[in-house]
Amino acid sequence: MNTLAQILEIASRLDHLGSCAEWIARETVHTDNSVSQTGTLISVLAEDIREKITNLVSELEQIAGMEGSH
């Protein structure tokens, strides 16, 4: 599996995790506030991880572009 495929797999899993966490948060908001808040936290963390991976890949592309121009 190449690097791009691995990144796409991670993104897919984060999407799934975020969607499940949002569903849990919505479904438990009126019955279990702690579980609902945990679902929201997981959703936010999944999005934060996705953003950090995107930034990392962008930085690596810039570095590779600089090295390729020398």
Provide the sign of the torsion angle of the four alpha carbons 49, 51, 57, 59, taken in this order: negative
The per-residue pLDDT for 12 is 94
The per-residue pLDDT for 51 is 94
What pLDDT digit, counting tens, does each position of 18-55 carry?
A: 999 999 999 999 999 999 999 999 999 999 999 999 99
The per-residue pLDDT for 67 is 83
Model confidence band, residue 70 (pLDDT cutoffs 50, 70, 90):
low
The per-residue pLDDT for 68 is 75
Contact 11, 53 (CB under 8 A): yes
| Domain residue extents for the chain | 3-68
